[in-house]
Structures are given as structure tokens and as C-alpha cells.
Amino acid sequence: MKSATHQSASPRQQHRSSIAGLALVAITAASLVVAAPAGATEKGSDWKNENKAFVQRDGSSLTLDGEQFRASGTNIYWLGLDENVGGVDYPTFFRIKDALDTAAVMGITVVRSHMTTSTSQDNADPLALMPKLGQYNDEAFRTIDFAVAYAGTLGIRLVLPLTDEWEYYHGGHRDFTTPLGLNADQFYSDPSAIAAYQDYVDHILTHTNSITGTRFVDDPTIMAWELGNELEGMTLDWINSQVAHIKDRAPQQLVAAGRRFDIDPDTLAAPDLDIVDVHYYPPTAERVSADAAVVAAAGKIYIAGEYASTAATGELLDAAAADPNVSGMFFWSLFGNNDRGGQVQHDDGFTLHYPGDLERAKENVAAIQHYSAATGSEPGRLKVGIPLITTIDQNYGINVVAWRGTAGAAGYIVQRSTDGGKWADVTDGPVSASASPVTDYESPDGAAYRVIPVDANDRRRTASDAVAAPNEGAVLVDPLESWSLTSTHDGTDILATPAGGVAAGTKGGTASITWESDGLLSATFKVTDSKSVVVSTSVDGVNWTDVPTKNVVRAGHRFVIANGLSGDAVRLSWKGNGKVERATITSAAVTIALFDPLNDFSKTAQHNGNLSFDSSNPTSFGGDTSRVKRDSSNLASLSWAFDDISGADIDAWYWPDQAVAALTVEGSADGSTWTTLQTQTRAGVGNWKPYTYSVEDLTGVNHLRVSWPQFAGEIWTPQIGSVSIYSPNAAPLTAPGAVELGTPAAAAASVTATPAFSWESAVSAAYYRFELWKTNAPGTPVTSATGLTATGYRPALELDPETTYSWQVTAVNGAGSTASERRDFFTAALPTEPTVVDDFDDYAADSDLQAAYVRNSGGGAINLSLTANDANGTRAAQFDYDLGTAGYAGTVKTFSGAQNWWGYSGLTLNIDADVSNSLSVQFVANGAYWEASVTPLTNGPQTVNIPFTDFAPPSWAPQADLDLTSVTQFALYINGTGTGTMTIDDITTVVVAH
């Protein structure tokens, strides 16, 4: 996590499918792990390397084939080992390919990746390339080899750090000192630590790529080796020694080094070091240009190896493109599509997806593509691929369609057909990849679905294969690019191909793959050779029965179809080296027997430990208005009882700044003897991260218990939000149960802003429909929303003051709908007097002012003192500042009690300043950060008015809705360069003119 400008110090229902493989992440008590790809290579695959020549250094410039080469770059740090899909594991070939394809679409020519930073101590991470000092796990090269080989097919080059200053999940330089009993700073001086590092470097440099057959040191795709990421303690002797060591083994490749936030002078003095890498959070055009000039004057190549993607603007990148000293700008960081739908999230504030999740991110992407074109690349040159429908689930009789996106698509249209000929749009125009899954609110019998990608020019491209939804059931589509959805496999491996991966027989004998799913109905397999294929089913996984199959050819592809299946496991067997490209498995629907929203303990059989209900901040919990949390570190658990439990989903929420520790789920026949159950999980993103734990295929279980983990950390995380229990004894599906409204209360008066509406979960609700009316115009709703799955909603509109409104929520499922009462509330009148934010008259001394306004330590120096305001005879605050290299200086005040700014139009303040530096005003409203900047119009005293419409979340903060009813923090920042003084007084809210 990189530091961010003006960032104040502060903390920051799903239903089970019948497909066992849908939960991608296996949970253990110690870790969260996903299945890794295999690493064999398909013989004859087209792995043509488009990088024919090495990038070279000519003084302070990069050259390629005798011409100047300038990089449009990004960071994709996780290509070797990933932390972003519920735990640490190898990324799938699809994810690697998709991210690199996305980079190519954006015109990226060089990718910086930490994939060769892969170490740990004493096997703490057995997946690392070096799990233990001096011991190597060459299985870890599988993803690295794929990334290098595939980047070559795209003509993308790589910069690869070899260790890290920081102790992230992929390891760092302490892995070369701690096992030797050395301090971290001895990494740069102790001969044994240096030898251990060089042994690791040699293991990488001399490695032969298992896909291309080319040694890494002989591959032009690798442009540069970086001594380490953000190394803070490098000495000139150490740099010279390591540069010489690498150049002796890789004479055709470049060597880079750098540290955080500024230029390490030793990198300028090292004669044979090629590239100086500087990082910026945030960058400014002036700072980049100044640093590039310093590096170029030393005869080195300058790159901004990391800069905040949120700062990718025309102002920054146009200046960089025009500056010949800037050889590359590498934004942090790029993520692509997730294997099973949606886009991979990373909660550091700088995650960028193509084409951008929100308008601000779309502008960042456009600026990067413009920079790519300006530096000689060709954005958009990659053909848009084909999406893949991954699941069709039934949520209480309503179809929910999930798909995997494809690189280069700007949006997707989900379509439905009931006759195979006419297709109707399910989505209202194109939606983003993150919209997956999409609910079909009509869900007619006999529906089939497909997904059409839409490119950046709003042109529809090739549709996905259509997938039929059963009238009662669920569909799993497995592209067989990893083993994450299968239960077992034998005699087969995932072969690496430029298309991503394919399952193939490897032993020449019989190969098999098995999937488990409750209530199998049918299966279709896309294969290269159907002659020897056998499909079998089993109830117990031991005794197998072969089933009749039908072989068909569609559009030149062979399919094996098995209908009328029974049992809970299906196995595909074949002889030889044939390949399986896809499996589509249909199973019967399952019904929730008991749903506990955990609003109280009435549905639990027992609860133990110090537990309570947390109903605060439902918007941070996906609208969940009640969760169970611990109030002490003592053992704590919840249990439920139901006859013949077959499975369960447990929805939990984790605070993102603390490591995820798994819940323990146990089953019992009698409620006294308990057995720990194997769980799987789906992880999400947010201010609190949602995790859904699933247990499936249970027998002989009548009691279920969930226990909190015992670990060092905050006791209030995780929180458990709801539990769904499944059983064959569940009652048949009927219309949803009653909907009980929560807030606003009936006849509530003086409601400010637009309230967050809440209601209780309705039994068997697939989704909710919300409607809001003005009571004096009850016919047409002021606003409405459907497809809501949370039990809370805040419309994106401001309500009129002094007006009576009514609202209603309707629960819907495949069997019908149930409406709540229609409830009235009354909005408040607008305030008539301003709120004083601070007039600086109540501070007795400078020390009191300085205690109230705490300096942001990430910025430059700033000193506060009280001074006279000659204009009105009161006191004002004087800010003496030195902006230094940070480019800003600021202070933060936390109110003793929250202020209510609802109903005002903005802020006004008196300042005495000059036009050379701007002023940023920042506040925290209902937990969200908002910021606006103004530049004085003239030198000297003046009044500044800032409308609330000018405020937006800072680039490093998540997007939010502006709710001014609870403002808890206020900050002032001076931006620019140099030193100076600014006087500020009489900060108040602005009353709306009537």
C-alpha cells in the first residue's frame, strides 16, 4: 500500500448453488488457497516471440533496433504468485493472459512485475520459488514461464525486480538475512547474505523457460532486471557488485535500481547501472520532469517505475510524453477479469481496470492510452475476445447468469432466448464486467443465455456460446484452465497454450476428470477426440456406472453429451493424449430450508461466548443491517439445528486491514459430537470484505456450528451476517414471506437528506423492489429500483424539504411476490443559520490550536499559530509552511462531536494568501472522504466560497454518495512548492438562499 496525498490517518446475501465447484477457494484454519494451474506445455503451440532484439541503453535513452524506445508501462505485480482471489496461490493462465491482453489493449509496451520476487522463510510459503533459504521450488516457474512466454507473443517487454524492501506476501530481502541470524540492514554488507541473494538471482537468470525453451538471460522479452523493489538501504559498493554479477550472466539485458519517492544518489554514481527507478504517490508533472533531468544528467535512463493510477491525467502524461528525458511511465496497478466473473479487486486505492470502473477511472485509462500513442505504441490493436458464461444459478426460482469477461471489451450485453432464434436483451444496454452476475427478473421456462462483448466504439462483437438454463436447477461451465472446479483428476494435466490452457491426457493411457454436484441432470463435454470418451456417474464416488452418450459436431467442434444423469459425481474418461476444452454440467436446484438473517438469536439452537449484534454502518456491509460480532477474545460460536442438513452458506465480513482468519464450521448428528467440515469460500471486496463460506454434500448432519477464529487481532472482526441452511426436507418454494420495514420509522419527522432505507429479510426472497412516492402524488414513484439483494437502499437523489413521502418494498421470487406496508415520513426544513466549522476564537493559546489541528506527517512542514484578524477584530489561524518535496502540507481536525451540514450549499472561509499555491479543503462525512481545491484569485485577503457540488472523493479514496448529516473530520492542505504563510478565518457553512 502506497502513501496517498492528503490521506488522513483512519481505519477503513448470497444463496448456494447446487454446483459443488462454484466456490473457488478452499479454506483451512490457517490460510485461504485457490487451486493452481498446471504447467505442462501443449506441443506445437504457437508461442512466437515478437521481441526479436534486446532493448539497449544509449546514454540516458533506451533504444531498440537503433531507434529511441520509450515505454508506456504498468505494474502487474502478481503474475507469478497472487494474493487477490481469496488467498495466496498461483494465478491461473487465464488471469495472466487476460491481464497482459488488457495491457496490450491500453498500448502498454513494458510491464513491471514482482513475479521473480518469490521467497519465504522456513517453508512459510511453500508456493514460493524459494520457500526456504537456498531451497528452490521450480513448480513456481510455471506461472512465471507462462507470463514471460505470453508477453513475448504480444511484443510486451518486462522489468523484473528480484527482491523487495517490504515484507509482502511474496517475500523480500529479509528472507536472505533472518534465517542467517542477521539484521535486515546486513543484507547489503554481510557476505553470507549477499551470497544467498546472488544464488537466488542465479537460479532465476539461468532458468530455461519450460514453454519456449529459451533461457531467461537470452530472452529479449526481459528488458531489465531490477535489484529489488524500493530498496532503502543500498550502498554504492553493493549496487556495483550486484550490477556486475547480473551483467556477467545477462550481458544483453539492462539492470535497474531505485527507492521510494526520491532518487537514491548511489544509483546515479554507479557507473554500470542502466536505469534509475523512481516512485510517486502522487506524481506531478513538475516533479517527474525535475527528477528525469537529474537522472539524465547523470547519464542514466529515467523511469517512473510506479505512479498512482489515479493521477494518470493529460496534464501529467502529456508533459511526460513531451520530455525526452522520461523513458517510461509505469502506473500502479493493472488488474483484469476474474476466472469466474467480475473483475479482480485490490483494495489499495490504485487498482485500474479497463475501460475504467467509474468516470474518473475511464479518464485515467484514456490518458494512459493517449500517452501510449504519443510514445510510439498502438492502443486497441488487440481483437476483442469471446466471453464465457460460467454459471447459471437459480435464486429462489430466479435465474442468475454469471460470465467471465474478455480483454478489450468496454461492456457486455446479456441476452435471453426461449426458441434459439430470437434474442432479447436482459441488461438495459451494455454493463461492465463487474456487473456479473446479472439477474433475469423474468426467468421464463426454457430460457437460454448468451453474452455479447461491446468494444470501445460501441460495436457488438462475437457472442459467447449459448447456455441453456434448466427450469429448476443450476449450470456450471468449467473451461478446464485449472483444477479449481473439479474434485479429482488422473493422468491429465493443464497444458499451457497461448489461448490460456487446456486439459489433456499426459500418460498415454487412461485419463479422467471428476466433478461433484448434488442431483446431477446432464453434462456436455467439448473434446478434441470423442472416440474413446466414457462418461460415468456415482452416488458415493466409489462405485461408477457408465451412461449413454451422444457425439455431435457443432461449428467444427466435437461435443460429448450425457443426459438423464443421476448421482452426485460425474467422471469423464478417455484414452491417449486427447484434450478436454470445456465441461458444462447441469444439476438440480436446491432449496434453502432455514435462513437466519441474524437480527437476533431466535433461529439459532445455541450461542456461546460474548456476542452482540452490530447494526452500524450498513452501507459498509452491503446493506446488511445486523451482524453478530464478538465482544471478547474468548471462544465464541453459533449453532443451528435442522433435520438432515445437506449444506450451508455462511456470510461473513472481514475488516480489510487485518489478515483473514477462517471461520471453523462443524457438523454433528446429535449436537454433542462435532466434526470439522471442509469449507469453500467466495471472496468479495468493499470497505468490509464479504466472504461466503460453503459446506456441501453433507450426510448424517442435523446440527451446524460456526466458531470464530482464535488469533491475534481485533475481536470485532470477522462479523457473521447471515446463514443459509439447505436440506432435502425443505418446504416447496412459495411466494416470499412478509417484508418488515425498518428505517425511516412510520411517521418519522424531520428526516434530513435522503435516508438510507432498511428492511428485514423476507423468507425466500430472491430480490427486492423499492418504490418511493410523494404522498400528494401517489401514482408515479419519484424513484424505484429492482433487483436489490441487500436489505437496504439509498436512492441517488435529494428529497425536497418539508415534504411527505411514502415508501414500500416488495419481495420477489420465482413463485410470486409479497409487498410491505406503505409507510410515510416527513422531511425536515432547510437550516436558516450557518454552522460554524471554526472561527479560531476559542483557542486560548497556540498550543491549543496545534493540538486541535494535527499535521499530516506525509506532507511538508507546517506550523500553526494564532494571529489577529484586523478586518473584524477577532483571531485567525496562521499557517506557516514549507511544502518541501512532498508538494503539500496540511493539518487535520477531528470534531469532538459530529457536525450536521445537511441542507447547506457549501463552505465559505476568509483567507489571506497569494496565487502561487492552492488550498484544498477536505472533510469526512459518514465515513467517506471529500475534497475540493481552490486557487486564490488575487494576492491578499479574500473570501472563498466552495459549493458542495465541487467536492469529490480524493483520488486515493473510494467513491461514495455525499451524505452531510454527520461530518466528523475537517482538514486544510496547501499545495504547490516553496515556503510561505496563509491566514485562514471564519470557516462556516453557506445557507441556501430561499
Report whether pLDDT(5) > 80: no
Q: pLDDT tens, 957-966?
A: 777 889 999 9
Residue 548's pLDDT is: 96
Are the C-beta atoms of 861 and 881 separated by less than 8 Å?
Answer: yes
Report whether pLDDT(669) > 70: yes
114 SS3 class = helix
| Mean pLDDT score of the chain | 91
One-letter amino acid of 759:
W
Which are the contacts of 316, defined by CB distance < 8 A and separation ≥ 6? Answer: 283, 284, 285, 288, 307, 367
One-letter amino acid of 854:
V
Report whether pLDDT(910) > 60: yes
Residue 7's pLDDT is: 39
Residue 661's pLDDT is: 85
Are the C-beta atoms of 902 and 753 separated by less than 8 Å?
Answer: yes
Report whether pLDDT(871) > 90: no
- Residue 21's pLDDT band, with cuts at 50, 70 and 90, is very low
d(CA 536, CA 546): 4
366 SS3 class = helix
Report whether pLDDT(18) > 50: no
* Average pLDDT estimate for 177-203: 98
Report whether pLDDT(49) > 60: yes
Are the C-beta atoms of 470 and 519 separated by less than 8 Å?
Answer: no
d(CA 596, CA 594): 6
Report whether pLDDT(22) > 50: no
Cell of 123: 517453508
Are the C-beta atoms of 630 and 708 separated by less than 8 Å?
Answer: yes
Are the C-beta atoms of 951 and 928 separated by less than 8 Å?
Answer: no
Residue 17's pLDDT is: 33
* Average pLDDT estimate for 901-917: 93
Residue 361's pLDDT is: 93
How many of the other CB atoms lie within 10 Å of CB of 960?
16
336 SS3 class = coil
Q: Rounded to the nearest 5°, which phi and psi values hold at 430?
A: -65, 140
619 SS3 class = helix
Least confident of 289-298, 572-581, 681-690, 985-994: 681-690
d(CA 157, CA 109): 6
Residue 24's pLDDT is: 28
Q: pLDDT tens, 339-381?
A: 999 999 887 889 999 999 889 899 999 999 999 999 999 999 8
252 SS3 class = coil
Residue 619's pLDDT is: 67
- Rounded to 10 deg, the angle between the 236-249 and 191-205 helix axes is 30
Residue 712's pLDDT is: 72
Report whether pLDDT(685) > 70: no
DSSP state letter for 613: E
- Residue 45's pLDDT band, with cuts at 50, 70 and 90, is low
Report whether pLDDT(606) > 90: yes
Which are the contacts of 84, defined by CB distance < 8 A and separation ≥ 6? Answer: 78, 335, 344, 345, 346
Residue 676's pLDDT is: 96
Report whether pLDDT(16) > 50: no
Torsion sign, CA atoms 611, 617, 620, 621 = positive
- Residue 1's pLDDT band, with cuts at 50, 70 and 90, is very low
Report whether pLDDT(6) > 70: no
Are the C-beta atoms of 713 and 661 separated by less than 8 Å?
Answer: yes
Q: pLDDT tens, 793-811?
A: 999 888 999 999 999 999 9
Cell of 118: 518469490
Are the C-beta atoms of 624 and 753 separated by less than 8 Å?
Answer: no
Residue 958's pLDDT is: 72
- Residue 977's pLDDT band, with cuts at 50, 70 and 90, is confident
Residue 26's pLDDT is: 30
Report whether pLDDT(195) > 80: yes
Q: pLDDT tens, 494-530?
A: 999 999 999 999 877 899 999 998 789 999 999 999 9
Residue 19's pLDDT is: 32
Are the C-beta atoms of 119 and 200 separated by less than 8 Å?
Answer: yes
Cell of 430: 451494455
Q: pLDDT tens, 738-797?
A: 999 999 999 999 998 888 899 998 988 999 999 999 988 888 999 999 999 888 899 988
d(CA 483, CA 503): 9
Residue 40's pLDDT is: 59
Are the C-beta atoms of 24 and 340 separated by less than 8 Å?
Answer: yes
d(CA 90, CA 80): 6
- Residue 729's pLDDT band, with cuts at 50, 70 and 90, is confident
Residue 518's closest CA among 427, 647, 413, 371?
647
DSSP state letter for 286: H
User: 96: part of which helix (H) or strand (E)?
Assistant: helix 93-105
Q: Any idea what the Cα angle at residue 791 is, between residues 588 and 25, rounded to 5°? A: 50
Q: Rounded to the nearest 5°, which phi and psi values hold at 265?
A: -60, -30
* Average pLDDT estimate for 51-69: 98
Residue 550's pLDDT is: 96
Report whether pLDDT(615) > 90: no
* Average pLDDT estimate for 215-240: 98
Sheet containing 928-934: which strands, arranged edge to edge?
853-855, 888-899, 967-975, 918-925, 928-934
Are the C-beta atoms of 766 and 438 separated by less than 8 Å?
Answer: no
d(CA 920, CA 182): 45
Residue 968's pLDDT is: 97
Are the C-beta atoms of 396 and 814 separated by less than 8 Å?
Answer: yes
Show the 3-state SS of 140-205: HHHHHHHHHHHHHHHCCEEEEECCECCCCCCCCHHHHCHHHCCCHHHHHCCHHHHHHHHHHHHHHH
Cell of 669: 448428528
Are the C-beta atoms of 902 and 882 separated by less than 8 Å?
Answer: no
Report whether pLDDT(88) > 50: yes
- Residue 8's pLDDT band, with cuts at 50, 70 and 90, is very low
Burial of residue 71 (number of CB atoms within 10 Å: 0-12, 13-18, 19+): buried
Residue 518's closest CA among 544, 537, 533, 542?
537
State the pairing for strand pair 928-934/861-869: unpaired
Q: pLDDT tens, 142-178?
A: 999 999 999 999 999 999 999 999 999 999 999 999 9
Taken as a whole, the chain contains a residue count of 994
d(CA 131, CA 134): 9
Residue 777's pLDDT is: 80
The proportion of the chain whose per-residue pLDDT surpasses 90, expressed as a percent, equals 77
Are the C-beta atoms of 774 and 804 separated by less than 8 Å?
Answer: yes
Residue 339's pLDDT is: 93
Which are the contacts of 1, defined by CB distance < 8 A and separation ≥ 6? Answer: 348, 349
One-letter amino acid of 732:
P
Q: pLDDT tens, 527-576?
A: 999 999 999 999 888 999 999 999 999 989 999 999 999 998 999 999 98
